Amino acid sequence: MLPDNIGLLIWDMDGVLFYVRDSYRRAIVESVQYYFSDLIGLSLKKPLMDAEDTQKFKYLEGFNDDWKLTYACVLCFLADLAKDRSLPKTDNPTDLVGMRRALKELRGSALGWEPETDLNKITRKIKSCGKGLDGTQLALSELYGADALTQAGRFWYTDLIKRIFQELYLGEKLYRMKYSEDAMFFHGPGFIRDEKPLLSADKLEKLSKNLYMGIASGRERFEAEYSLKMHGLDRFFPADLIISSEEVRHGKPDPESLVLCRKRMMGKYAIMEGKTSAAYVGDSVDDVRASKNAGFYSIGVLSASSIELDRIRLRREFVSLGCDLIVEDAGEIVNLLS
């Protein structure tokens, strides 16, 4: 049973309201592959990574943002590529055309590369070195050497990686709708269309009758509102109570988005300070950390992965962070209403 003083229920989206293995996680995996197979032009014998590999980063602090997670993965493979080679010099291109040309020029030096990138080893090292991209760079420097990291950095184009990711995730039509320009790399429907709700409208209806609800998500507003509307869940979440990444300066585990959502909910429903408390529902260590940092009741959800060993590990991470409540899926919250 939820504590009696909980009146505000704030949600993360990915892995909580929506199953994103076939959308965001797939966009991570295929963006990394595209970077090496299509942009550099390498004939790789097997995929560089799979959806399960993305979860290795989600256990760490600083990877709530899937763009940053994708940047980190590309850098890991570039460092592996550079460890025993001399890569060509670049003129530090700042435009997409120049970046693509530099990556094509890299192909000759990269031929014959057989990836030996151990993401388990790398993520363990990142955890001991720091968090997010800073921790990734320090870990790679220690594992591969400072020279390999420097060489890899010359071909690490985060703007280009983000462009590929967004085109894959949104698809040609939605990309044009959002950015007012044509897709450059991917032409077809986006992976966003393959997202599936993890919580039924009936359960959300019951929850909304007992609790005020809002969203604090690392998504941008365009994607958040599109997915909610596509699945008919937008009626449970007023647009002004959806806090997206554009509205805050700091992403999770910083509590800024959670605190802002709570503030808007208190104002919208004329709730006096001290009369009710907030709970946050998330599926990553950054979500639980953000909830703790905000002083919220934390609910950790294990439904982001279908792999039992991943769920066991995630549960251990939640326990170590002092998560107040751990559930297999968000639907269980309905059964905890008093």
Going along the chain from its start, the domains and CATH numbers come out as 6-19+195-336 (3.40.50.1000), 24-179 (no CATH)
**What are 140-161's pLDDT values in tens digits?**
999 999 999 999 999 999 999 9
Q: H/E element holding 162? A: helix 158-179
Query: Given this model, what pLDDT does residue 295 score?
Result: 97
Instruction: For residue 39, name the pLDDT band (cuts at 50, 70, 90).
Output: very high
**What are 48-88's pLDDT values in tens digits?**
999 999 999 999 999 999 999 999 999 999 999 999 899 99
Given the DSSP bridges, would you call strands 297-301 and 325-327 parallel, antiparallel or unpaired?
parallel
Could you give the angle at the alpha carbon of 120 between the alpha carbons of 40 and 324, nearest 5°?
Answer: 120
Give mean pLDDT, residues 3-19: 95
State yes or no: pLDDT of 200 exceeds 60: yes
- Count Cβ atoms below 10 Å from residue 150 Cβ, excluding itself: 13
Query: Given this model, what pLDDT does residue 338 score?
Result: 53
Cβ partners under 8 Å of residue 35, min gap 6: 74, 103, 160, 161, 164
Axis-axis angle for helices 308-320, 51-58 (nearest 10):
10
> Mean pLDDT of all residues in the chain?
95
State yes or no: pLDDT of 124 exceeds 70: yes
* Calpha distance 92→157 (Å, rounded): 10
**What are 250-306's pLDDT values in tens digits?**
999 999 999 999 999 999 999 998 889 999 999 999 999 999 999 999 999 998 777
Query: Given this model, what pLDDT does residue 291 score?
Result: 98
Given the DSSP bridges, would you call strands 196-197 and 18-19 parallel, antiparallel or unpaired?
antiparallel
Q: Any bridge partners for residue 197, and if so which?
A: 18
Query: Given this model, what pLDDT does residue 275 score?
Result: 87
Give mean pLDDT, residues 132-138: 97
Closest by CA to 7, choosing from 204, 201, 208, is 208
State yes or no: pLDDT of 1 exceeds 80: no
* SS3 (DSSP) at 272: coil
Query: Given this model, what pLDDT does residue 306 score?
Result: 75
Axis-axis angle for helices 51-58, 24-34 (nearest 10):
110
State yes or no: pLDDT of 243 exceeds 70: yes
Q: Which two tokens stand for residue 156?
A: 């690490």
Cβ partners under 8 Å of residue 315, min gap 6: 300, 302, 326
* Calpha distance 285→190 (Å, rounded): 28
